[in-house]
Amino acid sequence: MKPIKELNPQFLESKENKQHLIDYLLGVADNYLILGQRLGELCGHGPNLEPDIALTNISLDMLGQVRSFYQYIAQLKGDKTTEDDIAFLRKEREYKNVLLVEQPNTDFGYVIVRQFFFDVYNRLFLNALQQSADETLRALAFKGIKEASYHERFSGDWLKRLGDGTEESKTRVQQAVNDLWIYTDELFHTTNADDAMIASGVAPDMLQLKEYYYDKVGELLSTATLEIPEVEYFQKGGKEGLHSEHMGYILADMQYMQRAYPDSKW
């Protein structure tokens, strides 16, 4: 796909632009890291063999995706920072993932709903990112898009099966939808860095796809015979580094090895 805009070759010579790009990339990449970590927790705990393998496969895809983003950030920084430093040695406030991906694996219904809400967004995002003015991001988007459509098919299929399943599965998955719905709006929240990257054509303007996102999600929920919750407000904060109580536990788990054995490698 052709980029919407060509990037001015001097673009990254500006310190401010570079910092904005790094901040923008962290906002994208940290979603993959934290969701990948959450899914990794399920290894060996899936309800049966196929979903167990699928969830860990998706986790691996997310971690693969995040490595490429962190490697790019490390390259932009141009100092001694490595992908491992970025993944393991930041403090909670420095992670820019949305609140949705850090929500716990309460039950299989929650896992599927969290995944579906993210997958629909992620495929739209990667699709649009293929037209980024930044060559590296175009390549990463191109590589990630196919995996993302498998993920969406998997979580969407399970959502239908659970919603249109037994009374028990329906009640529980509806509860998950109700609880996680308030975190969907944040996917479209933009920071100052995001706005700068949208203006320069590096980042897609996801706000333009928001209506389409909610249509897609709503369509599947109704196929799954589930209700779209009505909420008074949407929760946000993760993209600005303000996380829910769950984040500290994730980081404690994830960073333990690197802090106990400094400089160990992935």
Residues that bind another protein (CB under 8 A): 50, 53-54, 57-58, 60-65, 67-68, 135-136, 139, 142-144, 146-147, 149-150, 153-154
Least separation in angstroms between residue 106's CB and another protein is 22
Least separation in angstroms between residue 191's CB and another protein is 25
User: For another protein, which is the closer residue by CB, 58 or 197?
Assistant: 58
User: For another protein, which is the closer residue by CB, 142 or 249?
Assistant: 142
Least separation in angstroms between residue 1's CB and another protein is 13
User: For another protein, which is the closer residue by CB, 3 or 64?
Assistant: 64
User: For another protein, which is the closer residue by CB, 19 or 136?
Assistant: 136
Least separation in angstroms between residue 266's CB and another protein is 8
User: For another protein, which is the closer residue by CB, 26 or 196?
Assistant: 26
226 contacts 174 by C-beta, under 8 angstroms? yes
Least separation in angstroms between residue 233's CB and another protein is 36
